[in-house]
Amino acid sequence: MKRNLSLVIFTLILGLVIPGNAFAADKEKKEKKQKKAWKWEMPSELTGDADFDNYLKTCDELNTKIVSYMDSVTFYTVKKINITQEDGTVVERRCVVDENGNIRGSSEALAQYIQMTNSGMGILNDMLNITNQTTAASAYITKNPLKVIKYGKYLKAGPKIVAEGGKTMKALLKRMTEQKKEIRQYKKDYSESGELKNPTTDAATIDANYSDNEPITKTSKDFDKELAAAMAKDKTIKIPDGDIDFEG
């Protein structure tokens, strides 16, 4: 319940930090000639004003946090795996895999969802805080018009980082939420070794529950090795008592 409330707050804050017309404007831009992607760069030297320099440092730290946040995510998929046995026969399983097709545990995938939600809340708080610093930085430029040429463009950096980062995080959260739902379904249908929990169930009847039904292939040796490593990792994950996301 507590995490669900955090997720609701997460989504609401995203709505606050991203301008209401941001998505409409983004669509309009795509219909026009593509422009060079905006990229944050710290100025080569600071101004010497405490408020403005603090604003610049906050922009740099926030941009670094957002980039690190995006780079830290691993996307998981529930895929069919065709396993070639030593005698040449092929058996089919269904497991959680990462972007490289390596088998991963469902608990690991769900734990990452929780971690990304929690760390995302911290970044969103920083996004809200930068608004006040933008106001203070604007006051400095107003009093020092000669600084406009060199530093004026940085007044737009904070709102730009918030808008662009917020949109990207919102899209990521949506994808991870869909991924969580699929993995929770997987835990109901399959064991961690990829076998149907109910052997009498026709696998074809539940394929529609999963977004990716294109199989990947592995030898039985590779499958057993990857599965063992995934289960060893899953055993190290602390599961909150009574957490429904981890229930099979």
| pLDDT, tens only, 170-185 | 888 899 999 999 999 9
CA distances from 158 to 63, 152, 161, 167, 205 (A): 9, 12, 5, 14, 50
Token pair recorded at residue 211? 């977004």
Residue 139 pLDDT greater than 80, yes or no: yes
Higher pLDDT: 135 or 218? It is: 218
pTM (global) more than 0.85: no
Residue 224 lies in a domain: yes
Contacts of 178 (CB under 8 A, 6+ apart): 211
Unique residue bearing structure tokens 């993995």: 183
Number of domains in the chain: 1
* Structural domain boundaries, residue 232: 2-28+48-239
Q: How far is it, in rounded angstroms, from Cα 7 to Cα 10?
A: 5
Q: Classify residue 105: in a domain, yes or no.
A: yes
Residue pLDDT, tens place only, 111-138: 998 888 888 888 988 888 887 788 888 8
Q: Are strands 90-97 and 77-84 parallel, antiparallel or unpaired?
A: antiparallel
Distances (CA, A) of 25 to 12, 17, 32, 127, 159: 20, 15, 11, 20, 15
What are the tens digits of pLDDT across the range 59-101?
Answer: 999 999 999 999 999 999 999 999 999 999 999 999 999 999 9
The answer as to whether 38 is a domain residue is no
Question: Looking at per-residue confidence, does 25 or 82 come out higher?
Answer: 82
Given pLDDT bands bounded at 50, 70 and 90, which one contains residue 203?
A: confident
CA distance 39 to 161: 9
Does a structural domain hold residue 244? no
